[in-house]
Structure 1
Amino acid sequence: MAEDRILVTGADGFIGSHLTETLVRQGAKVRAFCLYNSFGTRGHLDRLDPEVQAKIEFFTGDIRDSGSARAAVQGCDTVLHLAALIAIPYSYAAPESYVDTNVKGTLNLLSAAKELGVKKFVHTSTSEVYGTAQYVPIDEKHPLNAQSPYAATKVGADQMAIAFQRSFGLAVAVIRPFNTFGPRQSARAVLPTIITQIASGKNEIRLGNLKATRDFCYVKDTVAGFIAVMRSEQAVGEVTNIGSDFEVSIGDAADIIAELMGRKISIRVDEERLRPDASEVERLWAATDKAKALTDWRPQYAGREGFQRGLTETIAWFKDPRNLAGYDPSRYQV
């Protein structure tokens, strides 16, 4: 990796910042594509140790602009594409913005990578493209069933990436992480929502669907999955799931968190937090056999025990007053 320059799009986000930090600590030359804003902030990258930040080449722009995408890709050997709009509730309100970012933005980067001779393009998918599981664990042959505008745009982006590999020979690999969690995650995700409400002293926790199950993958395992897929020649032209080999309901996850935090809680279902019935994905659980066959990746936070270890690390981060201050548990984050 030390010889190649790696572009990470969405580097300023939750998973992107962890991936960028890990790559830099492993000696990679990283260009971090951050969404331009008038405040001059670089998202979670501003939280990294100064010595790590000093080794990052920062690029600010917008993947929706083809010129910006091309300028970011110029001079890079590998593209790890994570930039996307991901909040499902907001995709109900602003679906066009999801098409512009997730589909057109991906097309812009793929076109630039093709034109500029990028060696490897790793495209980020999501378990949401599967919809509610028709069988479990969900392998990569499972039918795609978009149940939200967000999921629909990710299906489109995935297929565009695969089409560039098949049509133009661009070395594309698609990584499909299941529900990643960990430090720095937005409170629009359910686990930080639970943790921040408890950490702020609330005994009654407001949540949405308690029966839905998820495969929660700790961010360190997700990052390791990205690097493994990037390094694997066998992953080119393939879709690869990344998960924890464990399924848990939202209600049970809340109980586990409360126990780890030494608190007794009650849960109130908040109608505002419920998806429309036909849009709710009721069950997700990843089959990871393909990832294990194509790469050297194995989940280090697997099963219930691994989930609890990941939660313990996550809770410790959120309980730090400097970190908790960035969250408002009294407000539903869309």
Structure 2
Amino acid sequence: MNHWHGKQVLVTGADGFIGSHLVESLVEAGAKVRALCLYNSFNDWGWLEQSPVLAEVEIISGDVRDPFLCKKITQDCHTVFHLAALIAIPYSYVAPNSYVETNVNGTLNMAQACLDNGVSRFMHTSTSEVYGTAQYVPINEKHPVQPQSPYSASKIGADAMAMSYFNAFEMPVCIARPFNTYGPRQSARAVIPTIITQIANGKKRIELGDTSPTRDFNYVTDTCRGMMAIAASEKTIGQTVNIGSNFEISVQDTLELIKELMGSEVEFVQDEQRLRPKDSEVFRLWCDNSLIHELTGFEPQTDIRAGLSKTIDWFTQADNLKRYKANIYNV
């Protein structure tokens, strides 16, 4: 029996990178999907604009910072996937209050709305950035959280706010904590799209921040499958669950792999403005994914080489490439 068939679900942040892929995965699974896209005067629905499932989705434009809107959009929902967040780390250095407003207060608004409307499952989305630089590897869910940027601090606060609704009100909350997701539609702030778009635009030298940190990269469809597995399981209520590959690779080795797959002779050089403040850089992220496997049976399906190949194929299509400003540094 398909858990999602016929169920009314809400995805916040549905216009974004992971959110748009999650919407498509849920539609494919037979769910009735309501998608919250960030309100803007262009009436732009982000990555859902070109989605093949757009006609099957109920689109709502709005903002999780408004509690009245949150209460309205959660009515009659079985499951809420809360992905709406400000995510850029460098921008959090210059606009930290925006991160508290959207990430902490937005999560509070959504949690209260779900409680008021008797939603059967509230799945809040965390991030591996809350762990900071690994104190031990691989990182399991018991690893301390370390607020190494205003962004990670806001997500630690948002996670705590969501879990407080489980502890205080017995609301069925689960927290998905994905490690580094990549794939088609990812923001150009992230290192993989930055490299692919610049190589595709013929750059001979690419300026980068520190390439020595390691990451646990996960192809976007695996992240979505993990989220759906966590939200569908009774065992995950009241739990925070990592989504990752249990595989660590340095940013430098990732770049070399992209270079190889694209047949490029590009040279990588360090750019001082792209370096994070010394105590803010997260040097190691390597996910222990044993809990998600134990609770749901989830295993990633796309390895780094296959995932990068799919990502390169998408980014190098002319219509997709022109959406990215490869010649500027995105904060």
Normalised by the size of structure 2, how large is the TM-score?
A: 0.98
1:308 pairs with 2:305: yes
2:20 and 2:43 mapped to 1: Cα distance? Answer: 16
Give 1:326's aligned residue. Answer: 323
Question: One-letter code of the match for 2:29?
Answer: Q
Q: Structure 1 residue 272: deviation in Å? A: 1.1
Q: Structure 1 residue 264: deviation in Å? A: 1.6
2:88 and 2:213 mapped to 1: Cα distance? Answer: 17
What secondary structure, in the 3-state scheme, does the structure 2 residue paired with 1:234 have? Answer: helix
Q: Structure 1 residue 75: deviation in Å? A: 1.6
1:169 pairs with 2:166: no
Give the alignment partner of residue 17 of structure 2, picking from 14, 19, 38: 14
Displacement over 4 Å in runs of 4+: none
Runs of 5+ consecutive residues of structure 2 not aligned to the other structure? none
Question: One-letter code of the match for 1:327?
Answer: Y
Give 2:49's aligned residue. Answer: 46
Q: Does structure 1 conserve the Cα–Cα contact (< 8 Å) formed by 2:124 and 2:176?
A: yes
Give 1:191's aligned residue. Answer: 192
2:92 and 2:251 mapped to 1: Cα distance? Answer: 21
Give 2:95's aligned residue. Answer: 94
What secondary structure, in the 3-state scheme, does the structure 2 residue paired with 1:312 have? Answer: helix
What secondary structure, in the 3-state scheme, does the structure 2 residue paired with 1:293 have? Answer: helix
Q: Structure 1 residue 246: deviation in Å? A: 1.2
1:169-248 to 2 correspondence within 5 Å? 169-248=170-249
Q: Structure 1 residue 120: deviation in Å? A: 0.3
Question: One-letter code of the match for 1:310?
Answer: G
Question: One-letter code of the match for 2:20?
Answer: S
Question: One-letter code of the match for 1:156?
Answer: G
- CA deviation string 1:278-312 (max 9, x = no partner): 011011000000000010211112xxxx1010000
1:101-112 to 2 correspondence within 5 Å? 101-112=102-113
- CA deviation string 1:262-288 (max 9, x = no partner): 112211111111100001101100000
Give 1:260's aligned residue. Answer: 261
1:274 and 1:73 mapped to 2: Cα distance? Answer: 40
1:218 and 1:203 mapped to 2: Cα distance? Answer: 27
1:146 and 1:8 mapped to 2: Cα distance? Answer: 26
Give 2:123's aligned residue. Answer: 122
1:114 and 1:56 mapped to 2: Cα distance? Answer: 24
Normalised by the size of structure 1, how large is the TM-score?
A: 0.97
- CA deviation string 1:238-270 (max 9, x = no partner): 010011221111111110000000112211111
Q: Structure 1 residue 116: deviation in Å? A: 0.6
Q: Structure 1 residue 3: deviation in Å? A: 2.9
- CA deviation string 1:187-206 (max 9, x = no partner): 00110001111111112111
Runs of 5+ consecutive residues of structure 1 not aligned to the other structure? none
Give 2:289's aligned residue. Answer: 288
1:249 and 1:103 mapped to 2: Cα distance? Answer: 31
Cα RMSD (Å) of the superposition?
0.7
Q: Does structure 1 conserve the Cα–Cα contact (< 8 Å) formed by 2:6 and 2:30?
A: no
Question: One-letter code of the match for 1:74?
Answer: Q
Question: One-letter code of the match for 2:197?
Answer: T
Give 1:32's aligned residue. Answer: 35
Q: Structure 1 residue 57: deviation in Å? A: 0.6
Q: Structure 1 residue 219: deviation in Å? A: 0.3
Mean alpha-carbon deviation: is it higher for 68-77 or for 315-324?
68-77
- CA deviation string 1:121-167 (max 9, x = no partner): 00000000000000000000001111000000000000111110011
Question: One-letter code of the match for 2:45?
Answer: R
1:264 and 1:286 mapped to 2: Cα distance? Answer: 32
Matched residues, number: 328
2:183 and 2:141 mapped to 1: Cα distance? Answer: 25
What secondary structure, in the 3-state scheme, does the structure 2 residue paired with 1:291 have? Answer: helix
Question: One-letter code of the match for 1:231?
Answer: A
Q: Structure 1 residue 2: deviation in Å? A: 2.3
2:322 and 2:112 mapped to 1: Cα distance? Answer: 41
Question: One-letter code of the match for 1:26?
Answer: A
